[in-house]
Chains A and B, each alone.
Chain A
Amino acid sequence: MRVLAAMSGGVDSAVAAARAVEAGHDVTGVHLALARNPQTYRTGARGCCTLEDSRDARRAADVLGIPFYVWDMADRFHEDVVDDFVAEYAAGRTPNPCLRCNEKIKFAAVLDRAVALGFDAVVTGHHARLGADGLLRRSVDAAKDQSYVLAVLTRAQLDRSIFPLGDSTKAEVRAEAARRGLAVADKPDSHDICFIADGDTRGFLSQRLGEAPGEVVDALTGAVVGSHTGAYQYTVGQRRGLHLDRPAPDGRPRYVLSITPKTNTVTVGPAEALEVAEVRATRPVWTGGARPDGPIECEVQLRAHGDVVPATVSLHADGLHADLRRPVRGVAAGQAIVAYRPDPAGDVVLGSATITA
């Protein structure tokens, strides 16, 4: 096959491209320039799309002996990921930009362009398994598993995707990179949000949304217990940085229970008030077999690297419902609910949807 390897300049995508070459594919490497004003160097694990990353990707492509180009996706990324990220926070939700990037950039804009240019598939260094059965499964490396942020992909997108790393642990990938002479073998993993280079999400949001002072209200008493400079700066389940004026009468810590953009109010309360046993979600995608007619028993994951919970899931006209077997704290609108079927060969992604309540 003629395949396009998305190469970030990191170790995973370099080894994924190497494996695609070894599998006999005709591979072309592409580095996606996503930042409008890229930094020259990366600082540790933060930031991405620096010129240094681009050079690292190019060097890896050289070592593999494949053509390499830089594609400018900065405008698309800004509109579909960064602007969406800001808008979601403004609407009181908690977005996952990596998921959105997969949905809109890597497996949409990039994939569509690749197909138009005559490529058959896109290869990435995501840690997830996608075998001949077409099912998306968790990586063998549970700590590095990225099936959660890939679960948003449709059947058509998965059919044109190749994830060569799913059967390997991160340690194995690094060792292989070193063995292949790829200089990125020791490069630190990326963490945090790539377009917020200093890691200060609050500062990033305040810069774009401006200050919007409002009240922090106690859910039980209705009393105003503090103030904030922008409701968008809070996430459901958050405990730190609330700066409350008055302690709770029972002296126990309080958490963000909800954010109401309309009134610019942050509602706080005790931990148990965070507990949710029923989740509603919109825009469902179902790739793990036929769409179920009725309720099915499975496991669900409600945030990246979050715990899994047994649940009964059903699809409806207005989206996806999940009844959780045990209550979960800190379920935030805007995050994805991903349904998995436990499987010894790797838990299978059944489907996903965006949490609304």
Chain B
Amino acid sequence: MAYLDHAATTPMLDEALEAYVATAREVGNASSLHAAGRRARRRVEESRERVAAVLGARPSEVIFTGGGTESDNLAVKGIFWARRAARAERVRVVSSAVEHHAVLDAVDWLAGHEGAEVGWLPVDAAGRLDPERLRADLAAHGDRVALVTAMWANNEVGTVQPVAELAAVAAEHGVPFHTDAIQAVGQVPVDFAASGVAALTVTGHKLGGPIGVGALLLARDVAATPLLHGGGQERDVRSGTLDTAGIVAFAVAVEAAVKGQQEYAARVAALRDELVERVRQAVPEVIFNGDPADRLPGNAHFSFPGCEGDALLLLLDAQGIACSTGSACSAGVAQPSHVLLALGADDDRARSSLRFTLGHTSTRADVDALIAALPAAVERARRAAALRTPR
């Protein structure tokens, strides 16, 4: 199998898996007071320190969660509620048109249920945000803004945002800035303190850790109202018995991914560039989406004019090639990607898109397999799409 969907999830690193299994064999609730509890607590705190050290945060700023979606929800809803509780007129959320659904839908929920007003920042054709647009929004509404949330790097088209610039603009207005860095950590340099963000989402399974564990880095002076109430385990912001084994494996993976980032990015970007070049040769009319320069090293995203992405996916899947249409399932039915639409693509182009993402286990053989299967798949997908009655 040629696995070209590392942005969906990437295989666990051996060292993370070993750390997970070893820790999972040990009994102990990190909140217990006896020796077994203390041992579990030590593992958690060592992990917290490891994560903090490589991501430029203080240990007390690391809140372990059940993964990226929880971290995003905690940041968006929690900071919104806390800021509004402090001053009632802060009901505006500023976000981008290309966020992952974990942010997008959380913001939409606030608009639908909590009376939030939303400023959606547009992106250019490459998917990039313009800090001046944020400056203009904050200049107009600054006192009423509860938070700004914008992703570090886009999960579909791979565009990397000017996060430090955006965070600086938010800081000028004293507005906390959250960034979903799920796709960025381990792929591009990410430093919490240096970036100037108030909150940052990271998750394990995109960088060689386990699924179901992640963290929200939350600056010490930023308040967030909890989503989950209970034992108050994590800074009273997040409750739930700590997943010691998951946290240990997560920390091992984060450390390995961040420490190896430069070497990884150079290798994977070279392979990605080769993939892009060979796809262009095989299918000359493809459109390469996203920012050609400021993009994630493993991401290649194309529109195949005249094809439907889901037909291509089926045909490539049958040849053992795993990729993604990048479109979310809405009520069980694939919708055209909001990211592609935000880049200015029309419905047909959005539906004709496929994402190939490389990762730490990718080799040239994966690219070879894709190139061997792609031309015939495109040809067949075109024939299938030609049957479609015009809407």
User: Which of chain B's residues has its CB closest to A4's CB?
Assistant: B314
Mark A51-86 against chain B: 1 for CB-CB distance below 8 A, else 0.
100100000000000010111101110010000000
In the bound complex, how far is the Cα of B335 from the Cα of A37, in angstroms? 13
Q: Which residues of A contact B380 (CB under 8 A)?
A: 116-118
A33 x B315 contact (CB < 8 A)? no
Q: Which residues of B contact A113 (CB under 8 A)?
A: 311, 384, 387
In the bound complex, how far is the Cα of B384 from the Cα of A79, in angstroms? 19
Knowing A117-B311, A117-B314, A117-B315, the reply to whether A112 touches B387 (Cβ < 8 A) is yes
Mark B376-391 against chain A: 1 for CB-CB distance below 8 A, else 0.
0000110110110101
Is B310 interfacial (CB 8 A cutoff)? yes
In the bound complex, how far is the Cα of B331 from the Cα of A54, in angstroms? 10
B391 x A75 contact (CB < 8 A)? yes
A28 x B384 contact (CB < 8 A)? no
B387 x A38 contact (CB < 8 A)? no
The contact of A70 among B334, B384, B386, by CB within 8 Å, is B334
Is B227 interfacial (CB 8 A cutoff)? no
In the bound complex, how far is the Cα of B390 from the Cα of A79, in angstroms? 12
In the bound complex, how far is the Cα of B384 from the Cα of A254, in angstroms? 52
Knowing A67-B317, A116-B384, the reply to whether A72 touches B334 (Cβ < 8 A) is yes
In the bound complex, how far is the Cα of B383 from the Cα of A113, in angstroms? 8
Is B284 interfacial (CB 8 A cutoff)? no
Q: Which residues of B contact A109 (CB under 8 A)?
A: 387
Q: Which residues of A contact B331 (CB under 8 A)?
A: 37-38, 51
Knowing A51-B331, A117-B381, A117-B384, the reply to whether A69 touches B389 (Cβ < 8 A) is no
Q: Which residues of A contact B384 (CB under 8 A)?
A: 113, 116-117
User: Which of chain B's residues has its CB closest to A109's CB?
Assistant: B387
In the bound complex, how far is the Cα of B332 from the Cα of A69, in angstroms? 10
8 Å CB interface, B277-314 against A: 310-311, 313-314
In the bound complex, how far is the Cα of B383 from the Cα of A112, in angstroms? 10
Knowing A116-B383, A117-B384, the reply to whether A33 touches B314 (Cβ < 8 A) is no
In the bound complex, how far is the Cα of B311 from the Cα of A113, in angstroms? 9
Q: Which residues of A contact B389 (CB under 8 A)?
A: 76, 79
B332 x A38 contact (CB < 8 A)? yes
Is B27 interfacial (CB 8 A cutoff)? no
A51 x B391 contact (CB < 8 A)? no
Q: Which residues of B contact A67 (CB under 8 A)?
A: 314, 317-318
B315 x A118 contact (CB < 8 A)? yes
Mark B322-340 against chain A: 1 for CB-CB distance below 8 A, else 0.
0000000101111000000
In the bound complex, how far is the Cα of B110 from the Cα of A100, in angstroms? 44
In the bound complex, how far is the Cα of B384 from the Cα of A109, in angstroms? 10
The contact of A116 among B313, B332, B387, by CB within 8 Å, is B387
Q: Which residues of A contact B334 (CB under 8 A)?
A: 70, 72
Q: Which residues of B contact A33 (CB under 8 A)?
A: 332-333
User: Which of chain A's residues has its CB closest to B331's CB?
Assistant: A38
The contact of B314 among A28, A76, A112, by CB within 8 Å, is A28
The contact of A54 among B313, B315, B332, B391, by CB within 8 Å, is B332
In the bound complex, how far is the Cα of B334 from the Cα of A109, in angstroms? 18
In the bound complex, how far is the Cα of B331 from the Cα of A71, in angstroms? 12
Q: Which residues of B contact A71 (CB under 8 A)?
A: 310
B333 x A28 contact (CB < 8 A)? no
User: Which of chain A's residues has its CB closest to B314's CB?
Assistant: A69
In the bound complex, how far is the Cα of B313 from the Cα of A148, in angstroms? 36
Q: Which residues of B contact A51 (CB under 8 A)?
A: 331-332
Q: Which residues of A contact B381 (CB under 8 A)?
A: 117
B333 x A72 contact (CB < 8 A)? yes
**Shortest distance from the beta carbon of B130 to any chain A beta carbon, whole Å:** 34
A28 x B318 contact (CB < 8 A)? yes
User: Which of B333, B381, B384, B386 has the most C-beta atoms of chain A within 10 angstroms of its own C-beta?
Assistant: B333
Q: Which residues of A contact B315 (CB under 8 A)?
A: 117-118
A74 x B333 contact (CB < 8 A)? yes
**Shortest distance from the beta carbon of B48 to any chain A beta carbon, whole Å:** 38
Q: Which residues of B contact A69 (CB under 8 A)?
A: 310, 313-314
In the bound complex, how far is the Cα of B311 from the Cα of A28, in angstroms? 13
Q: Which residues of A contact B383 (CB under 8 A)?
A: 116-117
Q: Which residues of B contact A54 (CB under 8 A)?
A: 332
**Shortest distance from the beta carbon of B245 to any chain A beta carbon, whole Å:** 28
**Shortest distance from the beta carbon of A126 to any chain B beta carbon, whole Å:** 23
In the bound complex, how far is the Cα of B107 from the Cα of A271, in angstroms? 63
8 Å CB interface, A97-140 against B: 109, 112-113, 116-118
User: Which of chain B's residues has its CB closest to A37's CB?
Assistant: B331
Mark B204-242 against chain A: 1 for CB-CB distance below 8 A, else 0.
000000000000000000000000000000000000000
User: Which of chain B's residues has its CB closest to A79's CB?
Assistant: B389
In the bound complex, how far is the Cα of B388 from the Cα of A79, in angstroms? 13
Top 4 nearest A-B pairs (CB, nearest first) are A116-B384, A116-B383, A33-B333, A72-B333
14 chain-A/chain-B pairs, Cβ below 8 angstroms: A33-B332, A33-B333, A37-B331, A38-B331, A51-B332, A69-B313, A70-B332, A70-B334, A71-B310, A113-B387, A116-B383, A117-B380, A118-B315, A118-B380
Chain A residues close to B by CB (< 8 Å): 28, 33, 37-38, 51, 54, 67, 69-72, 74-76, 79, 109, 112-113, 116-118
Apart from A70-B332, A113-B311, A117-B383, what 4 extra A-B contacts exist at CB < 8 Å? Answer: A72-B334, A113-B384, A116-B384, A117-B381
Chain B residues close to A by CB (< 8 Å): 310-311, 313-315, 317-318, 329, 331-334, 380-381, 383-384, 386-387, 389, 391
